[in-house]
Amino acid sequence: MSAIEVIPSARRLIKSLRDMGYDFAQAVADVVDNSVEAGATLVAIDIEFDGDDSWVRIADNGKGMKPDALREAMRFGAERAYEADDLGKFGLGLKTASLSQCECLSVASRWNRDRADIAGYSWDLAHIEKSNKWEIIPIDKNGLNASIRDPLKDRPGTVVLWKRLDRLLGYKHPYGEMSRKRLMQMCREVEVHLAMVFHRFLAGEAGRRKFKIMVNGNAIAPWDPFCRTETKTMRLQPVVLKIEHEGVNGEVTLEPFILPPQHAFSSKPAADAAAGPANWNQQQGFYIYRADRMIQSGGWSNLRSPDEHTKLARIAIHFSPALDEAFKINVAKMRVQLPGAIRDAVREAVAPVVKLAREVYDRKPPSTNPTCSATSTRPSITSSAPPSSGPVPSVAEPQRKGNLVGQSPATAVSAPAILTVDQWSTKLLEAATDDERPTVERVLQRLRSTMR
Ligand SMILES: Nc1ncnc2c1ncn2[C@@H]1O[C@H](COP(=O)(O)OP(=O)(O)O)[C@@H](O)[C@H]1O
Ligand SMILES: [Mg+2]
């Protein structure tokens, strides 16, 4: 007997696909992932309040898509070959993230540097409701209004436009002050979220070209959870854990940091910023990065609970997309689980970090010098040793020679500044000419993959 194709009900399924659990900022971040992948150096996010006609636009200067590629991109479950450090995975994000926030998603793309041809398609829930078919609507030249066409006037790139923002505004009083305030609040939340999850890209640390995000014309500054420019931040020895999951071998790197207590920061604004979006207690714990993009920001993944006394401990955990199955990444790329195979090793590695964080927390602030300390003589405790392969970081006797984080005056005199790989990468990329830069990026990427 031949198989029978049973096509899902478009009308019903597309509605369920709106509820994957994205909030606004997470949805924007998923669209920005695509821009990173497309080689963009600039993403401009504009949020326009105009009652029912309010819109959100995410425009990049990446390589753009030809019409057939754009049609495939619009497909739920778009197919393409993924690379090892690819931020994409399921072929869904563009659609599911967008439609989690709006009823009409339009995407326009220009792929040619010299010609301003633009391809455009929309997913419109009102149309699906009527047709009950998985149909996208081509946008012809006349349908390309200024808000979607303008960013592509002079260069290739892709514009994602969200209209009919039912999930954001609610439609009782769409022109009311509450709606306007809500949208403005969303702007701030999106800034904070993007500054955090893309901080390595924004700082040019990710071995890729430096990447800029603007929200309503404001450039977003990276938020570094580890405050690596603070002289009193302690960088402890990294730990590399080997993992084998269903035939895939990989490495997971833990980079532990102890942040300074508030009084030891260089300034009060720096201490306030370090608290992070969810504040000190909730921001302690693991910062889990997949291909340099932050997926989890704080929390102890059920290994411990947040505790006021350990709030200065923050630990970066890096894994590559090859380990997606082991980390059980969810479709919205918002949640991961620590693989069972490394939980014990991670617990063991975390114990001395937490102990030290507690000690630092318990130290009394110097009574005469309540803010931090250009005059302090205690060197920041860091380690310049290469990653160890054992599970336990040597934090009980931290090395006090090379300083990877920054130099306190006491060590600056005796020890030469040792640059981190990230700092070197940035310098190299800055020094390279436009022609040399892609080669330098490739070499850096190769170097990083051998170091991880
Ligand atoms: N801004 C963009 N620039 C270029 N190509 C894009 C862009 N956004 C999406 N695409 C293409 O559309 C495809 C589908 O995107 P998406 O639905 O987010 O799934 P995924 O990122 O998991 O592949 C991407 O794989 C990419 O080929
Ligand atoms: Mg994507």
pLDDT per residue as tens digits for the range 362-389: 987 776 544 433 333 333 344 333 333 3
- For the record, the structure tokens of 302 come out as 């059920």
Write the residue with the smallest CA distance to atom 27 of ligand 1. 73
Task: Give distance in angstroms: CA of 398 to centre of ligand 1.
Answer: 44
Judged on CB neighbours under 10 Å (0-12, 13-18, 19+), 93 is: buried
Residue 376: its pLDDT value, please?
33
Most confident of 75-89, 162-176, 204-218, 279-293: 279-293
Task: Give distance in angstroms: CA of 70 to centre of ligand 2.
Answer: 13
Write the residue with the smallest CA distance to atom 6 of ligand 1. 34
Mean pLDDT of 346-360: 97
Q: What is the dihedral of CA 19, 72, 31, 57, to 10 degrees?
A: -100
Whether pLDDT at 350 is above 70: yes
Choose which residue among 82, 94, 152 to substitute to test ligand 1 binding: the one with the highest number of ligand atoms within 8 A of its C-beta: 94
Lowest mean pLDDT among 26-35, 189-198, 271-280, 412-421: 412-421
Q: Give the tens place of pLDDT for each residue, 200-247.
A: 999 999 777 789 999 999 999 999 999 999 999 999 999 999 999 888
Q: Give the tens place of pLDDT for each residue, 116-156.
A: 899 999 999 999 999 999 999 999 878 788 899 999 999 99
More confident residue, 1 or 427: 1
CB neighbour list of residue 134: distance below 8 Å, 6 or more residues apart: 10, 14, 76, 128
Write the residue with the smallest CA distance to atom 12 of ligand 1. 73
Q: Residue 119 forms beta bridges with which residues?
A: 109
Residue 280: its pLDDT value, please?
97
Task: Give distance in angstroms: CA of 241 to centre of ligand 1.
Answer: 32
Mean pLDDT of 381-408: 35
Average pLDDT, the chain: 85
- How many Cα atoms sit within 13 Å of 105 on the Cβ side? 27
Considering every ligand atom, which ligand is closest to the CA of 160?
Answer: 1
Q: Find the residues whose C-beta lies inside 6 A of ligand 1.
A: 34-35, 38, 60, 62, 65, 73, 78, 80, 88-95, 158
- For the record, the structure tokens of 231 come out as 């002289």
Task: Give distance in angstroms: CA of 98 to centre of ligand 2.
Answer: 11
Residue 400: its pLDDT value, please?
31
